[in-house]
Structure 1
Amino acid sequence: MKYIFGIILLSMSFFAYSCDKSDDPFSESELKKAGHPRILLLEGEEQQIQDLINSDETWQKMHEAILEKSNELLGTDVLERKMVGRRLLGTSREALKRIFYLAYAYRMTGYEKYLNRVQTEMVAVCGFSDWNPSHFLDVGEMTMAVAIGYDWLFADLSEDTRLAARQAILEKGLKASKTGEHWWINSENNWNQVCHAGMVYGALAVQEDYPDLAKEMIDRAFDKIPKAMNEYAPDGVYPEGYAYWGYGTSFNVLFLSAVEKIFNDDKGLTDLPGFLKTGDFMKHMLTPTGGSFTWSDSGTGTGLNPAMFWFAMRTVNPSVLWSEKRFLDTDDFDKFKSIRYLPALMIWGKNIPLSNITEPEEKMWVGQGRNPVAMMRSAWDTEAIYMGLKAGSPSVNHGHMDVGSFVMEADGKRWAADLGSQSYESLESLGMQIFGKTQDAERWTIFRMNNFSHNVLIVDDQHQRVDGYAKIDRYSDNENFMFSISDISTVYNGQLKSAKRGVAIKDLEYSIIRDEFETLDKTTKVRWQIVTASDVDLGEKQAILTQGGKQLTLKVQGSDNLEMRTWSTAPTTNYDAKNPGTIIVGFECEIPANTKAFFEVLMVPESSAAEGSFFNKTLEVW
């Protein structure tokens, strides 16, 4: 569906919808606020943030952290146009952070030092030869940065700064998005969200001077952003993982928050299936150790996500923020200074008392979609058992050959891990083509991206099939036996007749992983493995994992000829990243032709009151 509305100038200061009155109930509505500022934070709303700061120590500390960072920025060198490989993205992101922070600081304090530095930064980046349209993320973030400075500080900017910003937004941002071919316009990933959001901010900032172009940019965004928002369907899973959720979704929310503020409506975008559910997805993605359920090109780090406060506000559900609340329980607010859109947190969080954030009742969450996942835990504390199972396909954007992979935590340690992403620049600088999705793509020669670095079955030392796909076929949230099962046969097409994996938490005490498969008409070597940051002591059909003074026992049941083994994670090429402190542990065996076989593996933490007994039930009767 195409979302169309116009922006026209009324008395040089008001927007109104250009739709016919009979078709659009908002045709007679006016903007909540005329003129500038009109993006995110209207004139006078600073007092709402001040009231929040005055009433809550945590929010006061966050506000002070933004001001401290703004003061630090006063002593830094002004940004220059520095490319890293084919990207200007680092500079664009730094510009967004600087301008956002400094503009916030000026609006909250009125101190001229912040205004002066914002103008210096804006003039500098607006003087760049271009904002690197060949990698349009760079343009999207830079346009948003300059738009915020231009709109928020419009009345106090010098005429020269306004002119420079207005022309740069026009030529280096909006018009650049119309010149040449831009695949991101119709994409289904974070590029769509980031770039369209940036163009809309630019359009909103300069609409009174370029009303027709502004209308075109906003119409286009409302038409195209649903392509990316549909990726959350049906349950809220973001297929690119935790880190990319933080990127794509944050810019999607920046877009929605801005248009809702201006038009008092989002034209039904938040009603798209799954989008408002994604807050619960992210709540469960944070693991007991404070890490994330990691998959695909997502990194291993975690941190405060300001956009989560928008979801809590929009759904009137503070419990969505339970995992985020952990990040706020700290005396070190310096770590938040790296979040370039942190001031938005003060806007989205201004009506959410932290005391209203209560512990979730559910211990399991399952979502289908492009990369279905199931996540379960024994409790919502830092020592709990956590199991996360990933299905999906390697062909999903930023995908790895990790279908059937899982992470497992207990006793405050991650026992089954994912190595995460490798720096794109480290590979692209060697001339590698790292974003191919075909079976023979160079991407799959990279250790962290292929199945040899993941907690999956490996059959005859072959790669998983990129055209395969698996969903979560069945699950239960019964606390005596929480489980999820996925038929992963299609990613082993031509290697096995069939394959299924089930993962479970038994009696809230230990984990079970059961694999059932059938071989083709040939003897087949099958490897079962996990990546771990533990010391490993192998035994007869078991392994003792030791980490930080704690232990976990891996117990194995299956073929009589299975051999317990470890494999190194050290790079064997000049391009693979190092993986210090990690090792692969598991077993492999040969299975005769046309044979139905199974593996059952227990992961029993040292703290468990149970010794861990094999369940000895087929997946069909789980």
Structure 2
Amino acid sequence: MNLLFLRLTSLLFLFVHFVALAQVDHLASTNKLPGHPRLLLLKGEEEAIKRTIDADKTWNNLHQAILTECDALLNKPTLERIKIGRRLLDKSREGLRRVFFLSYAWRLTHQEKYLKRAEQELLALSAFEDWNPTHFLDVAEMTMAVSIGYDWLYNDLSEQSRSIIKEAILKKGIEPSLDSKYNSWLKATHNWNQVCNAGMTYGALAIYEDQPELAKTIINRAIDSVVLPMGDYSPNGAYPEGYSYWGYGTSFNVMLVSAVDKAFGTDFGLINQPGFLKTAGYLENMTGPSGNAFNYSDSGLSGELQPAMFWFAQKSKDPSLLWVERNRLQTNDPKKHVKNRLLPAIMLWSNGVGMNAIGEPKSTMWVGEGRNPVALMRTSWSDPAAIYVGLKAGSPSVNHAHMDIGSFVMEADGVRWAMDFGMQEYESLESKGVDLWNSKQDSQRWQIFRYNNFVHNTLTINNGLQRVAGKAAITNYSNDPLFMNATTDLTDVYKESLAKINRGIAIVDKSYVVVRDELETTPAETTVRWTMLTPATVNLIGGNKAELTKDGKKLILQVNEPAHVALKTWPTDPPHDYDAPNPGTTLVGFEITLPATTKSALTVLLIPDKAANKAQQKVQPLAQWPH
């Protein structure tokens, strides 16, 4: 056994030496690393948090909610290594939540109960046989959890506990990341890269003085590797994987940048990656007046508090980026936020900002380009009844994407009238043998009810799927308050089915919404289906009109072009046993057959009840829309 251990140690040394020779040594000219604690919050920096808590009741309430949650953890059993399917991720995430919360509570209060409980959690997690390297996100989050606890409690842990925890960070966290069987994420351009590099960097910083060469290798590797997914924020911050994965990938990216910046006094130029600081504008505008997210692709609907936004606001010196976060902090019970495993970071990044210093954003429109372009527009930031529209372009080929190109959501009077199902829980599909992660054109992924274009607020041509290889850009837009609009060219997404197709969406006179499609057919008769998914009750009141009602509010869906259309509804009952149920939802729209080689326009108005007399019948061609 000792001989085997020596051989493995020798191989590890050779690997580190080889990698170090091939790497850029970003750490060569950095400051001396601080002693423990060194992750995110140095010794004595608790005092700034205490001043923030004392100065603002909202911050004090959140701080007290964290302590109350820690008290609730004191008598719970420690976590066990029980996987769900192929993942240990729920245990890693709960481990991170518990350790981060308890370590924060100890540093802010020095109450012994929090230290003892955190130590129990750390030893329990360290005793797992492994942290499930075959699904490396599990290892990454567990390594971050144990590293924060090890670092923040370092001076108060017993020597025996420190030794056990340090060994786990090295053997179950860092060393598996050196194995090519497990580290394909190093070349990924999505959230896996961000999360895994963050976790490994925390491990390296935690045990730096014991493994300095290995730690340098891991940190240098992370700085080189994480620029790959950070490239997807270019040019102006739209995150390709959508709202929920912004909350995952971007938050861990910020955890990484914040940690190295705090430890070494530099972020190594990472925050200067094109579009990265601008992505806070994307996230803020992705939330509608209802508080719900524009939940395209594999996203959840419910918006949540995002601690990373406070880091972005600090770096950008723009408190207005926190308008949505301020509303969540002031209107929601603080207990609602304690399931967020990164919540203590918000106290670190708050930078002493008081709630009264956060004003509403100046612009009511945000447009992002890149791999999954979006246009996000609203009539007001402060009116809960404001109209809100989110339009999505992009491609089904992007990580976690659906066939939702050209789709939109729309809110008015506090109701989301045009909705998106968002994601279906992965294990519910994987456990039934669904080939979920194959995104080829003919793969089973596109048979999942929620994932294809048939139930998104877009077009279906000849009953076919959108092209996975297709891509749509935002071609024009205008923030003119009387005709705020954006257009997208969908031709590549429907190539071979249509000769040309452009979609435009506008908020007219701050009163109602227009959705206009301009199509050119191929030399073949073409069937076009226009659909909108809604949680409202739909009453068809004429060939071209439907009245939608929800929560005592009304919206008229009116088709202006073509002239003689028959609106209809379709059920949202799932066709397969693996599909999630969709209660309380309806598809409303129409189907038309267009002659070969012709140009046509489809024009639909979405009219809130109070704008019933304002809606104009005539809508100009897209070429005449202001831009």
TM-score range, shorter chain: over 0.9
Counterparts of 1:616 and 1:346, CA distance in 2: 50
Report 1:174-189 matches (<5 A): 174-181=174-181, 182-189=183-190
8 A Cα contact 1:509 1:609, kept in partner: no
From 578, 583, 606, give the equivalent of 1:603: 606
Matched, 1:43 2:43: yes
From 540, 545, 550, give the equivalent of 1:547: 550
Counterparts of 2:353 and 2:289, CA distance in 1: 24
8 A Cα contact 2:367 2:374, kept in partner: yes
Q: Which residue of 2 aligns with 1:130?
A: 130
Q: Which residue of 2 aligns with 1:15?
A: none
From 563, 572, 597, give the equivalent of 2:566: 563
Matched, 1:341 2:342: yes
8 A Cα contact 1:600 1:614, kept in partner: no
Deviations 1:183-207 (A, max 9, x none): 2111011100100000000000001
Counterparts of 1:616 and 1:512, CA distance in 2: 8
Counterparts of 2:532 and 2:275, CA distance in 1: 31
Unmatched segments (≥5 aa) in structure 1: 1-17
8 A Cα contact 2:174 2:203, kept in partner: yes
Q: Which residue of 1 aligns with 2:115?
A: 115
Q: Which residue of 2 aligns with 1:445?
A: 447
Q: Which residue of 1 aligns with 2:212?
A: 211
> Helix, strand or coil: the match of 2:338?
helix
Q: Which residue of 2 aligns with 1:140?
A: 140
Matched, 1:77 2:50: no
The verdict on how the C-alpha distance between 1:105 and 1:24 changes in structure 2, with shifts beyond 3 A counting, is closer
Q: How many residues align?
A: 600
Matched, 1:573 2:598: no
8 A Cα contact 1:457 1:527, kept in partner: yes
Deviations 1:240-270 (A, max 9, x none): 1111100111100011111111111111111
Which amino acid is the alignment partner of residue 544 of structure 2?
A: K
Deviations 1:323-379 (A, max 9, x none): 111101136111011010111110000322221111111111111001000011111
Counterparts of 1:28 and 1:290, CA distance in 2: 42
Matched, 1:248 2:252: no
From 501, 504, 507, give the equivalent of 1:505: 507
Matched, 1:419 2:421: yes
Q: Which residue of 2 aligns with 1:464?
A: 466
Deviations 1:145-180 (A, max 9, x none): 000010001011011211111111001000010123
Deviations 1:402-436 (A, max 9, x none): 00000011011011000110010000001111011
Shift of 1:563: 2.3
Counterparts of 1:24 and 1:259, CA distance in 2: 11
Matched, 1:314 2:315: yes
Give the fraction of aligned pairs with identical amino acids, expressed as a percent. Answer: 51
Counterparts of 2:476 and 2:347, CA distance in 1: 41
Report 1:87-486 matches (<5 A): 87-181=87-181, 182-330=183-331, 332-380=333-381, 381-486=383-488
Shift of 1:29: 3.3
8 A Cα contact 2:462 2:527, kept in partner: yes
Counterparts of 1:157 and 1:608, CA distance in 2: 65
Shift of 1:442: 1.0
The verdict on how the C-alpha distance between 1:24 and 1:117 changes in structure 2, with shifts beyond 3 A counting, is closer
8 A Cα contact 1:509 1:610, kept in partner: no
Shift of 1:382: 1.1
Report 1:2-41 matches (<5 A): 27=29, 29-31=31-33, 34-41=34-41
Which amino acid is the alignment partner of residue 537 of structure 2?
A: D
Shift of 1:30: 3.1
> Helix, strand or coil: the match of 1:42?
coil
Counterparts of 1:610 and 1:269, CA distance in 2: 52
From 515, 518, 525, give the equivalent of 1:516: 518
Shift of 1:561: 4.9
Q: Which residue of 2 aligns with 1:6?
A: none
Unmatched segments (≥5 aa) in structure 2: 1-19
> Helix, strand or coil: the match of 1:294?
coil
8 A Cα contact 2:169 2:203, kept in partner: yes
Shift of 1:609: 6.4
> Helix, strand or coil: the match of 2:528?
strand
8 A Cα contact 1:374 1:389, kept in partner: yes
8 A Cα contact 1:78 1:121, kept in partner: yes
Shift of 1:615: 3.5
Counterparts of 2:485 and 2:563, CA distance in 1: 26
8 A Cα contact 2:51 2:352, kept in partner: no
Which amino acid is the alignment partner of residue 123 of structure 1?
A: L
8 A Cα contact 1:394 1:400, kept in partner: yes
Deviations 1:553-600 (A, max 9, x none): 011022345321101111121011111100000111111111111100
> Helix, strand or coil: the match of 1:497?
strand
8 A Cα contact 1:122 1:149, kept in partner: yes
The verdict on how the C-alpha distance between 1:28 and 1:403 changes in structure 2, with shifts beyond 3 A counting, is closer
Which amino acid is the alignment partner of residue 242 of structure 1?
A: Y
Counterparts of 2:332 and 2:567, CA distance in 1: 45
> Helix, strand or coil: the match of 2:204?
helix
Q: Which residue of 2 aligns with 1:594?
A: 597
8 A Cα contact 1:318 1:356, kept in partner: yes
8 A Cα contact 2:293 2:303, kept in partner: yes
Which amino acid is the alignment partner of residue 569 of structure 2?
A: T
Deviates more, 1:346-355 or 1:304-313: 346-355
Shift of 1:26: 7.9
TM-score, reference length from structure 2: 0.94
The verdict on how the C-alpha distance between 1:28 and 1:506 changes in structure 2, with shifts beyond 3 A counting, is closer
Counterparts of 1:157 and 1:349, CA distance in 2: 28
8 A Cα contact 1:530 1:585, kept in partner: yes
8 A Cα contact 1:480 1:507, kept in partner: yes
Which amino acid is the alignment partner of residue 299 of structure 1?
A: G
Which amino acid is the alignment partner of residue 335 of structure 1?
A: K
Deviations 1:494-515 (A, max 9, x none): 1111100000000001000000
8 A Cα contact 2:569 2:587, kept in partner: yes
CA RMSD of aligned residues (A): 1.5
Counterparts of 1:88 and 1:331, CA distance in 2: 30
